[in-house]
Structure 1
Amino acid sequence: MVNKNRTLRVIVFLMVIFLAGTACRLTKTSNTTIPEAIEEPVVQYDSTLPAQSSQTILVPEYTALEGSLEALYQAVSPGVVSLQYSSADGGGQGTGFVIDKEGHIVTNYHVASDAQNLEVHFPSGLKVYGDVIGTDLDSDLAVIKVDVDPDLLVPLPLGDSNTIQVGQTVVAIGNPYGLSGTMTMGIISARGRVLDSMRQTETGTYYSSGDTIQTDALINPGNSGGPLLNLNGEVIGVNRAIQTAGMSITGGAVNTGIGFTISSNTVRKVVPALIETGSYAYPYLGLSSYSNMSLQMIEALELPRSTGAY
């Protein structure tokens, strides 16, 4: 009887243990969860940041010039001539352009002033001799007269150089290194530059030549006296000089992309007098000036401002 009771207690004890273990396993199973889908984090943008600029950036479309440059060249090149001459120094070459139907051609003083046996070569193949009828050292302008049928002359119109803008597209046509009819393109780089005149004072200094246009259109030896034109085919300047950086291995001047042009409004003022009288009379004052004053000079002279006259 005692053994039966002991056996019964052992069985009951084992059953209790079994039921407890099962309950534990059921409890763990009921706490297991399926992971939920991970949501993408929402990026918050700072509303105080400046909005994207709506300003339109203008990019030059040079492809839009296709066709117009060809038409421009066809229209104006017949009025551009190549000049060849002999002189006491051996001779040289330059460029000019027809200004009217009377046979007047504009070029530089430094091209035509000492020219002998001056030949004028037209793009059509016509070649004639020309006579220098007027020169001006201060503006570096000269006028040549040729005896040619007016029907064969193509005068180039003068534009208003006061209306040109820095960045404006321009073209130069000339006879660089004897390569007649060469056209190059560039922009107006600056206005109102001042160069030395070719006229010397009694003390050996030079007068000033103002209202000069700066351009990066390629100008080389032989381009002197040729036209700088806007895209309407109007002459806005007469090519005069370049800023150089020494000499090349062949002995030629190295072009720096800085060219200087006599303004068309100076041409408009001086050339009629050269045609009529052979010279142009300038009113002038016996004053000299500095083209650029340093801050140290301004402070030493106690000047009220850094530009203009005092």
Structure 2
Amino acid sequence: METTARRLVPAAVAAASLLLTATACTGGGGGSSAKSSDGGSAAPAPSVSNDLQTDYQNTVKAVLPSIVQITAEGSLGTGIVYDTKGDIVTNAHVVGGAKSFQVTLSDQSKTLPASLVYSYPANDLAVIKLTSPPSGLKPAVFGDTTKVQVGQIVLAMGNPLGLSSSVTQGIVSAVGRTVSEAGTQENPQGATIPNMVQTSAAINPGNSGGALVNLSDQVIGVNTLAAVDSSGSGQAPGIGFAIPAATVINLADQMIQSGKVTNSGRAALGITTRTVVTQGGSSGAGVVSVTPGGPAATAGLQAGDVITKLGDTPIDSAATLSAALASEKPGDKVPVTFVRDGASRTVTVTLGTLG
């Protein structure tokens, strides 16, 4: 099944929404990490009491202090306090090309300066850090991704349309979605994000980088995308996507410890591509450039080749190639079929790691 979605653009400026493609993929919701971001013990398994309204209120009271508003170059987005040292996780498209930010705490008591730690557009995640973290920061607790279940009640917390500390409710609609975003200035090839959590909780521009939370006060994902009607008539209500907590923990820890992502755990060919149509009329992923010494170069792929199949998966665009790679692992050996000078060829490539 194929649907369209749009990135949750920051709320304070008028900006054109980017078209995205979301496709179902096999597999679960990601890894099995459960972590308190201040280094505490693993969070317990989610549970729901009989008094649902009280559960809602208690979860909002517990988690909302960890949700902040981020101002980046005149636009607004959302972030989640990750640790007591002032690290805040958000979306890469919230920070854009900015290096410095203003962060407003959930109680609106302070607006604090912050700077970029690292932005990783390939997974649409970034970490920023408060310049002078105040005492009393409350880091969020990130839940165990393997315990996320379809039908589970969730709350989306953030700053939609600049309305600070807003909360909406819904359920987990699906897990294991792969979503391919259109390119941006910072990431021309776009991002393909695997294992995303789909939710019916209302998320809107400004919610980007906010928290998708279960009723055990655990963040199970970072809100990132909202669907649009395939006809282009507007946003499709009740279809949004969040990056799973296991992915957030893995990548954020690397950014904080190393200042970059050292091991994404995701497969790559070592090429840049764009969608092209071959002389025979079929479409594919045209190779624009090849990383010297990378997997594709080692296998003999060249700029100008048009990839039409990865393994058994037909490739008709740069986006479908990215989606196909999202289901592979570094070190896998896969046949790549491509067209060169009008002739179809196949080589076996040992996949590398997405940087």
Q: Which secondary structure does the structure 2 equivalent of 1:67 belong to?
A: helix
- Give the match for residue 65 of structure 2: 78
Evaluate the alpha carbon distance shift between residue 148 and residue 78 of structure 1 in structure 2; reply closer, same or farther with a 3 A threshold. farther
1:259 aligns with 2:240: yes
**Sequence identity (%):** 35
1:273 aligns with 2:258: no
- Give the match for residue 214 of structure 1: 198
Q: Which secondary structure does the structure 2 equivalent of 1:151 belong to?
A: coil
| Residues 137 and 198, structure 1, Cα contact 8 Å, conserved in 2 | no
The 1-side partners of 2:209 and 2:200 are apart by 16
The 2-side partners of 1:291 and 1:166 are apart by 27
Q: Deviations over 1:229-268 (max 9, x none)?
A: 11011110000110023788xxxx6342110100000011
Shift of 1:62: 11
- Give the match for residue 274 of structure 2: none
The 1-side partners of 2:254 and 2:177 are apart by 24
Shift of 1:115: 2.6
The 2-side partners of 1:269 and 1:162 are apart by 14
The 2-side partners of 1:259 and 1:176 are apart by 13
Equivalent positions of 1:91-110 (< 5 A) are 91-110=74-93
- Give the match for residue 111 of structure 1: 94
Evaluate the alpha carbon distance shift between residue 142 and residue 290 of structure 1 in structure 2; reply closer, same or farther with a 3 A threshold. farther
Note the residue ranges of structure 2 that are not aligned, 5 or more in a row: 1-47, 270-308, 316-326, 329-333, 336-355
Shift of 1:147: 3.1
- Give the match for residue 37 of structure 1: none
| Residues 124 and 191, structure 2, Cα contact 8 Å, conserved in 1 | no
Equivalent positions of 1:19-98 (< 5 A) are 64-86=51-73, 91-98=74-81
Which amino acid counterpart does residue 175 of structure 1 have in structure 2?
Answer: N
- Give the match for residue 129 of structure 1: 113
| Residues 113 and 142, structure 1, Cα contact 8 Å, conserved in 2 | no
Match of 2:212 among 191, 212, 228: 228
- Give the match for residue 243 of structure 1: 227
Which amino acid counterpart does residue 97 of structure 1 have in structure 2?
Answer: I
Which amino acid counterpart does residue 64 of structure 2 have in structure 1?
Answer: S
Q: Which of the two has greater strand per residue?
A: 2
The 2-side partners of 1:290 and 1:260 are apart by 27
The 2-side partners of 1:151 and 1:270 are apart by 25
Evaluate the alpha carbon distance shift between residue 289 and residue 213 of structure 1 in structure 2; reply closer, same or farther with a 3 A threshold. farther
Comparing 239-248 and 263-272, the one that deviates more: 239-248
The 1-side partners of 2:313 and 2:223 are apart by 22
The structure showing larger relative contact order (alpha-carbon pairs under 8 Å, at least 6 residues apart) is 2
| Residues 115 and 131, structure 2, Cα contact 8 Å, conserved in 1 | no
Evaluate the alpha carbon distance shift between residue 109 and residue 63 of structure 1 in structure 2; reply closer, same or farther with a 3 A threshold. same
Q: Deviations over 1:158-204 (max 9, x none)?
A: 1011111100000011000000000000000000000125779xxx8
Aligned residue-pair number:
226
The list of structure 1 runs, each at least 4 consecutive aligned residues, that deviate by more than 4 angstroms after superposition, is 197-200, 204-207, 287-293, 307-310
Evaluate the alpha carbon distance shift between residue 292 and residue 105 of structure 1 in structure 2; reply closer, same or farther with a 3 A threshold. farther
- Give the match for residue 140 of structure 2: 156
Q: Which secondary structure does the structure 2 equivalent of 1:70 belong to?
A: helix
The 2-side partners of 1:214 and 1:290 are apart by 27
Q: Which secondary structure does the structure 2 equivalent of 1:224 belong to?
A: coil
* TM-score of the superposed pair, with normalisation by structure 2: 0.57
